[in-house]
Amino acid sequence: MQNIHTMFISDVHLGTPDCQAQLLSKALTELAPKKLYLVGDIIDLAAMRKKAVLPQDQQLLLGQFWQMAREGCEIIYIPGNHDAPLRKVCGLKLGKLQIRRKAIHKTRDGRRFLVSHGDEFDGHVRIHPFMLRLGDHAHQLLLWLNRCYNKVRQWLNLPYRSLAAMIKQRFSSAQRYIQNFQDAACIEARRQSLDGYIGGHIHQAGFSHRQGALYCNDGDWVEHCTALVETNSGKLQLLQWPSMKVLGEPSAPLPFASERVNS
């Protein structure tokens, strides 16, 4: 594993039983990034309004974030739709920790990416708002089934498998939503003359070249336990825990946005 400069994580959903706090804590310790983007839905304030749950491992993870900032790691927190109340304090800086609505990240090799949670593109994916709300409730049910399914697999000494991901891959409507989401994100990145987009929200990690830009999604920490990382040389990779396996890297890079404009 090459030295990691920047790490992007999203959809941790602290405050819910689906949160994989211990695995994420281990990942942060192993990689020790110099810069960390918390790309939304880190604390699930929406769920905590109904039932406030924050077990010890999740409390320790929050403490770890704060300790990393105190030790010099630059942390940029971009609230998502589940921690949207924190958007009211965007612009706040506490030492190395800052809260922002979105960011422009410049990689070590000079590329520039729009970074946001991604829920702002929900209105661009041609799905009725009622269906979006229904999908959110259905996803919560899938996560509950996922916990039950993997408890049985653990009892049978079988490795973890995301039931929710297996089901979503079999529905063409879910795949259309993902493709429309990717297009909307990359169109916005190109509108700002950027090289690509980095976000979360849809719990579907991956890379793709769309609309003349590089789309990167860091996944989640409730189903897949994935993170997007940038090495000291500027290479982007998707990693998955607990194996710390490299899930993928972008295919041949596009010319930088500035090169495309000048060509």
Residue 177 domain-assigned? no
Please tell me which residue, 151 or 193, carries the higher pLDDT value: 193
Question: Would residue 199 count as lying in a domain?
Answer: yes
The 10 Å Cβ neighbour count of residue 218 is 26
> Could you tell me the two tokens for 98?
């800052």
Confirm whether 203 is domain-assigned.
yes
Q: DSSP of 83-106, one letter per residue?
A: TGGGGGGTT-EETTEEE-S-EEEE
Residue 136, pLDDT score = 60
Cβ–Cβ under 8 Å, residues 8 and 75 = no
User: How much is the mean pLDDT over the chain?
Assistant: 86
Does a structural domain hold residue 152? Answer: no
DSSP letter for each residue of 118-140: SGGGGGGS---HHHHHHHHHHHH
CATH code of 97's domain = 3.60.21.10
Please state the domain count of the chain. 1
What pLDDT shows up at residue 124? Answer: 67
Q: Which domain holds residue 17?
A: 4-119+194-262
- Asked, for residue 50, whether it belongs to a domain, the answer is yes
| Other beta carbons within 10 Å of 196 | 29
Domain-located, residue 61:
yes
- Does any domain span residue 224? yes
Digit-coded pLDDT (tens) for 55-97: 999 999 999 999 999 999 999 999 999 999 999 999 999 999 9
Please state the pTM of the whole predicted model.
0.83
